[in-house]
């Protein structure tokens, strides 16, 4: 007796306009599952070798393991909201920011551990590598949602910026006063397009820097406006 295909399984995915995105989401889940295991093994191993490493390295490894575990959970839930644009955009943004943190933290930890615990340094580097692979898959997933034809096109024919990075810049611009929003958004997007030929990770890092500094940009804009108005606001 043949088993019935599960909801959301291959038979349904093949009929869905989001089939390529669903497939990429599955790859993302598997990649983050590996990163999750590696990060937990790293934290556990450092705790056992406590005499060879400093407490701040152990704390960073524990934070990294928790962050990667949460990213894995978020990725598992991604396919269930794939047809709800606002929800999937919010979850994708969470994954983008989380992966940027995890990649940076794992890289910093690898450099710190190389001096005192080469085995731990190699483990941290593998976590960073898995997070980098996940970042690439997430970007391809976002492209598949917004531009299915381009997602399937050969890489050599593409020259465009990351949709996830564009979304982050658009969100950052919303923080600014309405009168200045369009000008800054245009400037930030222009800087992003200057990176079009660069790896997608560069696009995301640029967008994350813009988003991180959005509130300080808002304060600077409002301060300049108060000065122009003679201190009145």
Res. 31 pLDDT band, cuts 50 70 90: very high
For position 72, what pLDDT does the model report? Answer: 95
What is the CA 188 to chain-centroid distance, rounded?
A: 19
Write out pLDDT tens, residues 169-208: 888 888 899 888 888 888 888 888 878 878 888 888 888 8
Sign of the CA dihedral with 83 first, then 35, 203, and 57 last: positive
In this predicted structure, the answer to whether residue 93 has a pLDDT above a threshold of 50 is yes
To which H or E segment does residue 129 belong?
helix 118-146
How far apart (Å, rounded) are the C-alpha atoms in residues 93 and 228?
Answer: 36
Looking at residue 8, the DSSP 8-state letter turns out to be T
Looking at residue 18, the DSSP 8-state letter turns out to be T
Domain ranges of the chain: 18-155, 159-228
In this predicted structure, the answer to whether residue 4 has a pLDDT above a threshold of 70 is no
How far apart (Å, rounded) are the C-alpha atoms in residues 141 and 26?
Answer: 10
E strand map for the chain: none
How far apart (Å, rounded) are the C-alpha atoms in residues 72 and 28?
Answer: 9
| Burial (0-12, 13-18, 19+ Cβ within 10 Å), 168 | buried
In this predicted structure, the answer to whether residue 9 has a pLDDT above a threshold of 50 is no
pLDDT exceeding 70 applies to what percent of the chain? 84
Which of 140, 124, 152 lies closest to 57, judged by CA? 124
How far apart (Å, rounded) are the C-alpha atoms in residues 36 and 66?
Answer: 9
To which H or E segment does residue 70 belong?
helix 55-77
When computed from its CA atoms, the radius of gyration of the chain, rounded to whole angstroms, is 21
CATH for the 18-155 domain, from 3.10.129, 1.20.120, 3.30.565, 1.10.150:
1.20.120
Cβ distance 184 to 176 under 8 Å? yes
């Amino acid at each position: 007796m043949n088993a019935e295909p599960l909801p959301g399984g291959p038979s349904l995915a093949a009929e869905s306009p989001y089939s390529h995105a669903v497939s990429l989401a599955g790859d993302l889940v598997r990649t983050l599952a590996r990163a999750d295991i590696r990060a937990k093994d790293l934290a556990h191993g450092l705790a056992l070798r406590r005499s060879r490493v400093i407490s701040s390295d152990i704390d960073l490894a524990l934070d990294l393991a928790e962050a990667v575990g949460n990213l894995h959970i978020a990725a598992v839930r991604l396919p269930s909201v794939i047809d709800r644009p606002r929800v999937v955009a919010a979850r994708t943004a969470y994954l983008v920011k989380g992966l940027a943190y995890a990649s940076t933290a794992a890289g910093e930890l690898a450099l710190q551990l190389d001096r005192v615990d080469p085995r731990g340094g190699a483990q941290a580097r593998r976590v960073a590598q898995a997070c980098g692979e996940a970042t690439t898959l997430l970007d391809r997933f976002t492209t598949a949602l917004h531009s299915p034809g381009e997602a399937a096109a050969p890489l050599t024919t593409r020259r465009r910026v990351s949709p996830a990075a564009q979304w982050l810049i658009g969100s950052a611009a919303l923080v600014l006063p309405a009168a200045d929003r369009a000008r800054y958004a245009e400037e930030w997007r222009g800087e992003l397009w200057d990176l079009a030929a660069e790896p997608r990770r560069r696009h995301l890092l640029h967008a994350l820097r813009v988003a991180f500094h959005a509130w300080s940009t808002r304060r600077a804009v409002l301060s300049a406006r108060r000065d122009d108005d003679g201190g009145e606001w």
